[in-house]
Every structure is written in C-alpha cells, then in structure tokens.
Amino acid sequence: MSTYLYLVCKDHEPPLEAMGESGQHTSDLPQIRSDIADRAQIVDLYSRSLYGMSDSFRSATAYFLSVHPACEIGIVDEYGREHSVHPDADLIEAIAKALHGWGSAVPWDETQEAWKEERRDMAERAIAAIRSRWTIEAKP
C-alpha cells in the first residue's frame, strides 16, 4: 500500500515526527524495522559519513536515529496510523491471524484490538520459543 512512512520519537511529548520519509510503501516496513533493530550500527556508520546517501529513505532513517540515539522509536504513516517496529512484525501478524482463525468465527479485521494484541503476544512468544530451541545453520 502506498503511504509515506515516518519515524517518530516517543520520548518527546507529544511524539516528535521526522521531517524526512523513511519509506513510501508498507512494503518498505521490513527495511525500516531492520534499520531500527540495527540502530547502533546504523548510527555509527552515519556518524562516520560512511552511510550510503544514495537511498534517501534509509538516509532519513539513519539521520533520525542518530539524533535520537537512545529514544523509543515508532513508525507512523501519513494517515497517522502506527506500525510495529518489531523486526518480526509481519511473521507475528501472520501467525496471530492463523491462531485467531482456529479460535474465532469473527473475521480478523472486525476483531477487537485487545484480542488482536493477545494473539500477537502468543505469536511473539511462539517465535521466541522456536528461536531459543533451534539454530538454523547457513548453507555454504
């Protein structure tokens, strides 16, 4: 879906929104989440001017992270909707929908947010449990 995406600093009241866009489509969310998860490295590279400026969205992300190095960061779109910063957000959402489908006849989109959050928490704990037990070896 086409929508501008912005980082916000949630340690400011009201939250401070970035001037520059970090993405233009919801399909940019995985890259934004990955950069937030790797913020220490991104900020370090940006501070040493080693960060590639060819990608203006990632540069906007790097700049905002560098001026808010320790703040809680969020992602909002141009319609004011908040998006998860969790690097596994898409996987969590897919598992949460599947869990919901087994236990409820109410369509996901019509389900109360509290129920969705409960399913997302279950999905996140399932992913963490799987990760703690399995090591996936990289193929040579």
71 or 122: whose CB is closer to Zn ion? 71
Q: Which residues bind Zn ion (CB under 5 A)?
A: 9, 11, 68, 71
Report whether 74 contacts 15 (CB < 8 A).
yes
CB of 67 to Zn ion, least distance (A): 7
Query: Amino acid identity, residue 101?
Result: G
CB of 33 to Zn ion, least distance (A): 18
- Other CB atoms within a 10 A radius of the CB of residue 51 amount to 20
39 or 68: whose CB is closer to Zn ion? 68
- Other CB atoms within a 10 A radius of the CB of residue 139 amount to 4
CB of 72 to Zn ion, least distance (A): 8
Q: Kind of pairing, strands 82-83 and 73-77?
A: antiparallel
15 or 87: whose CB is closer to Zn ion? 15
